[in-house]
Amino acid sequence: MSDTLLSQLDKNKLPHHIAIIMDGNGRWAQEKGQNRIFGHSNGVVAVRNCVEASAELGVRYLTLYAFSTENWQRPKAEVTALMELLVHTIRKEIKTLNDNNIKLETIGDINRLPAGCYQELMEAKKATKHHQRLTLILALNYSARWDLIQATRRIAEEVENGKLRIDEVDEKCISQHLTTAPFPNPELLIRTSGEYRISNFLLWESAYTELHFSKKLWPDFSKEDLYTAIGDFQRRERRFGKTSEQLIRIQ
């Protein structure tokens, strides 16, 4: 099954940047009579599978929505366990990232993360900063509205200080002030667990992103499911406001 799906993909039409909302860890655990932390721990396997598959295919950027600003509202025990899991996972996977030429980056207000998490992230980012095969971007303490607010404040400050003119504030300017500025916009956004919303994730960057919704709960999301999403992406016509006839003439 996996080889069949893989063979059907056009390697010349891969999305350069895939973003994933990893949803369903809690429900997956509950279905098995376990607590939510058990689901988060098993979700790490799906992360590993998607990173590996993306690197093998030649996808250049993979962004994973790991922890939102709203997630602080969850029970304290769950938040603490998530932070500990993050530290443990980064520490465990750093060798794999180095061995596979994978660069680790982050978006979001990571300064608010616990000191141990922040330190592990900084060390991992430093250790992998020269890798070029795949850039793995973790969205941590991230929300799109937070990012737009901080960008707006920075722009307002630059205008106030005379470093920027009002007429220079355009789409490019806003994009350059977001934490996602170093990366291209995602071409494909995947959400698991059967929910049909994007939950405050990459709102600005996803203006023309293709959306794929999977009913799989995140711990069950496999390489085959990623291939299916990419295949769905490749069958779509991406017009960016143009008509189909215009696209044909351009080709």
Pairwise CA distance, residues 121 & 129, whole Å: 12
Are 121 and 112 in contact, with CB atoms under 8 Å apart? no
Catalytic member of 3, 10, 12, 23: 23
Length of the chain: 251
Q: Is 23 a catalytic residue?
A: yes
**3-class secondary structure, 189:** strand
Distance of CA 1 to CAs 7, 53, 60, 186, Å? Answer: 10, 15, 25, 27
Question: With contact defined as beta carbons under 8 Å apart, do 175 and 181 qualify?
Answer: yes
Q: Output the six-digit token pair for 133.
A: 């095969």
Which is it for strands 188-191 and 102-107: parallel, antiparallel or unpaired? unpaired
Q: Residue for token digits 């996977």?
A: 93
Please indicate whether residue 71 is annotated as part of the active site.
yes
> Are the CB atoms for 83 and 74 separated by under 8 Å?
no
Q: Is 197 helix (H, G, I), strand (E, B) or coil?
A: coil
- The SS3 of residue 66 is strand
Catalytic residue among 3, 35, 42, 71: 71
Active-site positions read: 23, 71
